């Protein structure tokens, strides 16, 4: 990145990340950029993210969202990030089309809860603590819940793909993935 003509430290973009109904694999893949993490630290600082443990997102430039939307909490988190980030990026298969969790979409959520919480004697004890997020009837891709600006597919997208896409965004290029980096698996 170009040195700042005034000698001040370069302006960093503020980055948030979160995992909704995902497996954190996309976050692991972000860490797979290896030594480029140092370069990233020079370009960006993290707001709400598992890397910072910041619980509430403040105003930021880019938010990376992993995972689809499966419950009320996912909706709240997603809305919080949409309200604070200039650019929302759907990262990975689950955020983009529900992915593996969406395999439950062919079943009714009531039937699933009944089956999962039925004990050997046949009694059903579905947890009803208000602390627990309530499940939506289906898993939804995040673009069906809030406006999404960019999509970065992959399960997970490789570290190289994330690096290319993210640096394109940070440096003001149109993000594009060539054949080697574009994957749905």
Among positions 1, 118, 144, 173, the unique one binding other proteins when judged by CB under 8 A: 144
168 scored as a contact of other proteins (CB under 8 A)? no
| Binding to other proteins in span 123-142, by CB under 8 A | 126-128, 130-138, 140-141
The strand ranges marked E within the chain are 13-19, 44-46, 60-66, 69-71, 85-91, 135-140, 150-152
97 scored as a contact of other proteins (CB under 8 A)? yes
102 scored as a contact of other proteins (CB under 8 A)? yes
33, 159 contact by CB (below 8 A): yes
Among positions 36, 43, 109, 168, the unique one binding other proteins when judged by CB under 8 A: 109
Give Cα 128 to chain centroid, integer Å. Answer: 27
151 scored as a contact of other proteins (CB under 8 A)? yes
Among positions 72, 86, 118, 171, the unique one binding other proteins when judged by CB under 8 A: 72
Among positions 15, 99, 163, 167, the unique one binding other proteins when judged by CB under 8 A: 99
Nearer to other proteins, 45 or 160 (CB): 160
Nearer to other proteins, 3 or 116 (CB): 116
The residues binding other proteins (CB under 8 A) are: 72, 75-76, 79, 90, 93, 96-100, 102-103, 105-110, 113-114, 126-128, 130-138, 140-141, 143-148, 150-153, 155, 176-177, 179, 182-185
């Amino acid at each position: 990145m170009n040195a700042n003509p005034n000698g001040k430290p370069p302006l960093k973009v503020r980055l948030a990340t979160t995992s909704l109904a995902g497996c954190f694999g996309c976050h692991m893949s972000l860490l797979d950029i290896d030594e480029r993490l140092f370069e990233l630290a020079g370009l960006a600082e993290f707001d709400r993210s598992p890397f910072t443990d910041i619980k509430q997102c403040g105003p930021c430039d880019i938010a990376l969202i992993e995972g689809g939307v499966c419950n009320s909490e996912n909706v709240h988190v997603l809305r919080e990030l949409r309200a604070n980030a200039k650019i929302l990026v759907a990262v990975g298969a689950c955020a983009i089309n529900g992915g593996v969790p969406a395999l439950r979409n062919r079943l009714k959520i009531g039937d699933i809860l009944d089956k999962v919480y039925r004990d050997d004697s046949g009694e059903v004890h579905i947890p009803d603590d208000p602390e627990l997020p309530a499940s939506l009837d289906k898993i939804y891709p995040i673009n069906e819940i809030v406006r999404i600006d960019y999509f970065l597919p992959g399960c997970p997208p490789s570290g190289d793909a994330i690096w290319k896409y993210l640096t394109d965004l940070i440096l003001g290029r149109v993000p594009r993935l060539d054949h080697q980096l574009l994957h749905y698996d």
